Amino acid sequence: MLTAAITQKNHTILIIDDNPTNIEVLYEALDRTGYKVLVEMDGYHGIETVKNHPPDLILLDVMMPGIDGFETCRQLKSQPITCEIPIIFMTALNDTTDKVKGLALGAVDYITKPFQQEEVLARISVHLKLRQANLELSQHKDILEQRVQ
């Protein structure tokens, strides 16, 4: 358990949501678990924060003023510097069409509101572990390619 807590302190989660209640609940749960948490209340500022301070994972609402979460995701996934950051949509939109659209844009998961804190934390943990495994595989691939050359 100590190892998990140490690992979590090394991870930064960005919440992009325009609802102060959702932000507060998520922030408290993530902070209590040991994550570093960043918050933005709209897609435009979220994109700027990601470019300047890339998080390890993004929790992204769909329905926001200005650019919505789908467009925010599309823009983040189109940039080499931000395209590998896992995005989990968290929204009240629960139609299958919306879920498929979010995943097709590059999100790794889709959680409908109201959400359960334990489920959100579990999904974050899974996606951070997957990202770490992919990074390690990529590093090993690079080392092997160098050895072959």
**In the numeric block, which tokens belong to residue 56?**
């390890």
The pTM (predicted TM-score) of the whole model is: 0.86
Specify if 101 maps to a domain.
yes
- The domain that contains 33 carries what CATH number? 3.40.50.2300
What pLDDT was estimated at residue 53? 94
What pLDDT was estimated at residue 9? 60
Q: Could you tell me which of 112, 90, 92, 101 has the C-alpha nearest to residue 14?
A: 90
Q: Could you tell me which of 115, 25, 102, 116 has the C-alpha nearest to residue 68?
A: 102
Task: Report the sign of the C-alpha dihedral through residues 122, 124, 126, 128, in that order.
Answer: negative
What pLDDT was estimated at residue 144? 87
Specify if 120 maps to a domain.
yes
Specify if 3 maps to a domain.
no
* Residues near 147 by beta carbon (within 8 Å), at least 6 away in sequence: none
**Across the chain, how many H-helices and E-strands are there?**
6, 5
Specify if 29 maps to a domain.
yes
Residues 55-71 have pLDDT tens digits of 999 999 999 999 999 99
Burial label for 97, CB within 10 Å (0-12, 13-18, 19+), is exposed
Number of domains within the chain: 1
| Domain that residue 136 falls in | 12-148
Which residues in the chain show pLDDT less than 50?
1-7
CA–CA separation, 146 vs 48, rounded Å?
Answer: 35
